[in-house]
Chains A and B, each alone.
Chain A
C-alpha cells in the first residue's frame, strides 16, 4: 500500500520553463510535507516543506501548492535550469519526529 503517490515518474522541461511534480497522500494524520532533491551519488537534500495550515509556500524559484481537501500537494519549479536536473521526492509524515514516507521520485531533466 503506497501512502504517497508521486507523478510523473520522469519529466523533461525546456530551460526557462515550469516544472510541476504532483503528489497525493492517503493518511489524514500526515501533517508535514517536504520535498527533497537528490543528485546522483548524493543524499536527499531538503528543498522546501509545508504544513496543512497554509495552501502555498514559496522559496525562490520553488513553490509548494497544497490542497488539504483533495489530499494533494505539488512542487513548481519556475524558470527551470539545467542545474535543477535531479530526482525529486515528495514525502509526508505525522507531526513530531517521525519517519518520512516518500513518494517514488520524479527524475527531472532540464534541457537547453
Chain B
C-alpha cells in the first residue's frame, strides 16, 4: 500500500502551459506539504496545509496554486509554466499533535519545461 502517492510521475510540457500535479495520502494525516527539489537536489518547502487550510506559503510565485479538497489530498496547479519551474516536486504528509514532526514523502513528480 502506497502511503503518499503522486501523479503523474513525469510531466513534460512547454513554456506557457498550465499543468497540475495530484497528491494523495492514506496515512490519515492532517497536514500536507509541497516541497521542490532543484537540479542540485536542494529541497525547499513551498506550501503547508493543515486540515485543508493553507498554513505556509514560502514566497512562491502566484502562478503556483495549491488546492486541498480534503485532508487526504493536496494538488498543485501551475499556470504559465517557465523554464525555471523544471524540478522534482514532492508531496509529504504528517500528523499534528503527536509530539513528532515525522514527514512522509511521495515518490515525486519530475516536471520538465521546454
Contact = CB atoms under 8 A, between A and B. Distances in A.
Interface in B41-67: 41-45, 48, 50, 56, 58
Contacts of B94: 97
Contact of B48 (A36, A41, A95, A99): A99
A32 B102 CA distance: 9
Interface of A: 32, 34, 36, 38, 41-46, 49, 87, 89, 93, 95-102, 104-105
Given A42-B107, A99-B33, A99-B58, A104 B41 contact: yes
Given A97-B94, A97-B96, A49 B102 contact: yes
Contact of A87 (B41, B44, B45, B96): B41
Given A87-B41, A102-B42, A95 B101 contact: yes
B107 A89 contact: no
B95 interface: yes
Given A97-B31, A97-B94, A99-B56, A44 B105 contact: yes
Contacts of A102: 42-44
